[in-house]
Amino acid sequence: MATPLSADRLVAALRAEGVRVAEHKSWRTHNRNHAGSWGPVHGVMVHHTVTSGTASSVDLCYNGHSSLPGPLCHGVIAKDGTVYLVGHGRANHAGSGDRAVLDAVIAEGKLPPDQKADTDGNKHFYGFECVNLGDNKDPWPAEQVEAIVRASAALLRAHDWGKDGDTSVIGHLEWQPGKIDPRGPGVSMGDIRRRVAERLKHPADWSPGGSPPEETPMHTYFERTSGVTLRPGEWYTITWDRVWTPGKGWSDRDREQTLLKGERLFSLDFAVRAGGLGRGQEIQLRVARNAKKDGVWARAKSWPISSPVHDGGRLHAAHHWQGHLPGSDDNRLVAEVLVNGDSPVPIDELTASLLAWPL
């Protein structure tokens, strides 16, 4: 029998576990308690949002939508690991699942496969929605997964769960037949449970020394300010004039093309400012992986192309990509731009802001 934590105790437990907490709107009194009971609670459920962008995902989980009113969980875990609290009380996240799974969670025993949807999960589970597209391609940054581990451990510690086993944290996919969340590169419930179990052997403020590089992403910022004129119909791989790195500041790049090397998850914003576009003349941006072939860089993969809409004249456009760059020095990430139409287009400025997490 476990009574849900009060809002204050929840925040305190999360902060004690080293979680960065953001309190969203009236989360303390925002719930679905009028629609059903809340508690006794027995465990923690992990989800992905099938969305991108922190602010819009947090709003969605707070408000819900026409067919599913919010809150859609208790906390939204952003890509950077911040946990946004959006509800306290019953929330629409777990739906109906398998009683046998709940029994295993209560007993902290081995999870059976989920085969039935006969039990109200919203009554018995805390829920975290993690910002991820759920397409099995959108990467899960190490900071986000670490926040899942810490937030889960905070609740288990506060309730004194997880002493007999580690099944007090489950994925939605382990609860309700047909669900797939959470999934994607970098996340696995087995890994999360192992890490939660390890954390619980240590005090709440434990910070393992083994993997500090994963804690913070490397941030670099690239600029190309010397003008370049693009000929229509040819992808141009951008050469950068200078780069900003933390600690070092700006340094000249001497027409280097490479944005990133080595195995990394990346998050890239790439922007272009151009003038003199003809009406209907289109500009396209993309990010590509090059691989070395006979000593020469050749395109091996490209991420989806962005074609900003405009009606001629000046253009300032930006686009965002996330992905996984495989390891080895024979791979690199570059940014490319293409114009079509008949006349050359002068580009005034190109910038790229890059976050990279080692794997």
Interacting residue ranges for Zn ion, rule: CB under 5 A:
47, 172, 181
Nearer to Zn ion, 96 or 353 (CB): 96
Q: Which is nearer to Zn ion, 178 or 304 (CB)?
A: 178
Report the nearest approach of Zn ion to the CB of residue 269 (Å).
Answer: 28
- How near is the Cβ of 179 to Zn ion at its closest, in Å? 6
DSSP per position, 46-74:
EEE-S---HHHHHHHHHHEETTEESP--S
Nearer to Zn ion, 17 or 181 (CB): 181
Token pair in block for residue 95: 């739906």
Give 289-313 as a DSSP string: EEEEETTEEEEEEEPPPB-----SE
Closest distance of CB 336 from Zn ion, Å: 36
Cis peptide before 71 (omega within 30 of 0): yes
Residue 199: strand, helix, or coil: helix
Alpha carbon distance 255, 259 (integer Å): 12
Nearer to Zn ion, 193 or 332 (CB): 193
> Omega before 346 cis (within 30°)?
no
- For the bound state, the minimum distance from the C-beta of residue 73 to Zn ion, rounded and expressed in Å, comes to 8
What the block records as the tokens of 30 is: 């925002």
CA distance 213 to 358: 7
Exposed e or buried b for every residue in 85-99, given b needs 16+ CB within 10 A? bbbbbbbbbbeebbe
Identify which of residues 52 and 284 has a Cβ nearer to Zn ion in the complex.
52
Nearest approach, Cβ of residue 134 and Zn ion (Å): 9
Residues 92, 33, 102, 159: is their CA dihedral positive or negative?
positive
Measure the CA–CA gap between 149 and 19, rounded to whole angstroms. Answer: 10
Nearer to Zn ion, 85 or 170 (CB): 170
CB of residue 170 to Zn ion, shortest distance in Å: 11
- Shortest Cβ distance from residue 49 to Zn ion (Å)? 8
Closer of 32 and 172 to Zn ion (Cβ):
172
